[in-house]
Amino acid sequence: MRKTKTAVAAASLTAAALLLTACGAGTGPGAGEDAGALEDQITAVTAEQLKGTTITMSRMFGDCEESTQGVVDPALATTECEAIQILTNKFNAENEYGITVERLGGTDWNSYYDAFNASIAGGEPANIANLHDYSMSDYAKRDQLLSFDPEALGVDMTDATEQAQKSVMWDGSTYAVPFDAHALVMHVNTDVLAKAGYIGTDGRPVLPTSPEELLQMGKDVKDKTGLMLFSSGFANDDMAWRFFYSLVRQQGSDVISADGSAEVDTEAAAKALELIDALLDAGYMHTNADYAGSIDEWKNQQSAILLNGVWAINEYAATTDFGYTVTDLPTVFDAPAAWASSHMWVMPRQKGDDPVKYRAALEFAKFLYDNTDAWSIATGHIAPRVSVVESDAYLAAPERANYTQTALTGISFVPQIENWTAIKSLIHAQLDEVWFSDKAIADALSEAQARVTQELK
């Protein structure tokens, strides 16, 4: 067995869960009150009414206004921040109504929700805001987001992927416009895999199709190159949790059942943890690295494969000094599945429910949806539209053709339930006990089941 380590602190509950509880109901009318009438008013807003409207935007992705000032060509973007800011510039310069979007707040994703929740609690949120799929339902349930009919506003959801269509719905209504998905993939050093005998005649990596084949691949890489198979963030990071969740989903299981009850202590979860434990015990990966450390380790060619998200693809394709490619997460159980999350655009409820402001925000959301091709090509994120994922321009971008399975069918969003962040943290804490303190898998899953059951109550 690997050496027992001191457990790292479990991921803390985010301010989102805490502040949402304190916020209570939304700033607009009660849930369902005059919803149809408000939607009709929004749809009926005229071009003349929209003329010269200014709205505010709250987003993550960092600060880059100075470096992108006056830039309106998304093809010039090299980062997420530049891509979203240039798209905003383009909308401001070109929209037919003269709508102006001003940034209200939001910096990096890890501090974004603190500021967004404070704006909700203070009754003055931005007119349009960024959210992840797993947090949207928390706000929608409290009537803090506008529901709307995308078809009536020209948002073609029939082109959205199945996963994207589901992610923007809550309790039968649409509360968001999808913007992307970002999934777990494998970033591969093909030079290492070639030495280990895992590059096929087509020049592509040969992927395992069972747990046994995955472990054999780890052995061959270690025996023939002296390197580890995987680098992954474990310490104070979510990447290993995402690997675990992917393996659970590949078995047709989840951590929350369809009826909303705890489903953590399962055979699928045990098999997923047993496989990760076997990789660790054999030295085919380790638990020492955090997010940045795992990347440095892989870039320094100490491992064959980095487990990380699609958001890093453009950077790695441009900067690695060894053979590089991307693959879908291998299907080692029953069906393709990879952990994924997404960014979406929501319209927070406002005092007074001004239909003109709502319509202006929805016009901007529609523009962003219509330009998901520019966003996904610039960032590596997966486009939420089938027509984009299958387009020549998208497939010609670095490595995109190599994870279309994930993009179209393999995405596995986490359960859309209230307080998901708290639920995930309880499960993650028990995984850390297994990985860092050698807690028995059965005991960890049993305790996770009990804690999640209590939290759901």
- Domain boundaries, given as residue ranges, for the chain: 15-181+342-370, 183-340+416-456
- In CATH, the number for domain 15-181+342-370 is 3.40.190.10
The CATH architecture assigned to 183-340+416-456 reads: 3-Layer(aba) Sandwich (3.40)
Q: Does the reported pTM lie above 0.85?
A: yes
Please name which of 394, 420, 417, 416 lies closest in space to residue 407, comparing C-alpha atoms. Answer: 394
Between helices 420-437 and 239-249, what is the axis angle to 10°? 100
pLDDT per residue of the chain (457 residues) written in tens, 0 to 9: 454 433 333 333 333 333 333 333 344 444 445 667 899 999 999 999 999 999 999 999 989 988 999 999 999 998 899 999 999 999 999 999 999 999 987 667 678 999 999 999 999 999 999 999 999 999 999 999 999 999 999 999 999 999 999 999 999 999 999 999 999 999 999 999 999 999 999 999 999 999 999 999 999 999 999 999 999 999 999 999 999 999 999 999 999 999 999 999 999 999 999 999 999 999 999 999 999 999 999 999 999 999 999 999 999 999 999 999 999 999 999 999 999 999 999 999 999 999 999 999 999 999 999 999 999 999 999 999 999 999 999 999 999 999 998 998 899 999 988 889 999 999 999 999 999 999 999 999 999 999 999 999 8
- Cα(369)–Cα(253) distance, integer angstroms: 31
Would 15-181+342-370 and 183-340+416-456 be classified into the same CATH topology? yes
DSSP tag of 280? H
The residues with which 17 forms a beta bridge, in sequence order, are none
- Cα(93)–Cα(112) distance, integer angstroms: 27
- Cα(410)–Cα(390) distance, integer angstroms: 15
Cβ atoms 135, 18 nearer than 8 A: no
The tokens for 438 are 């050698």
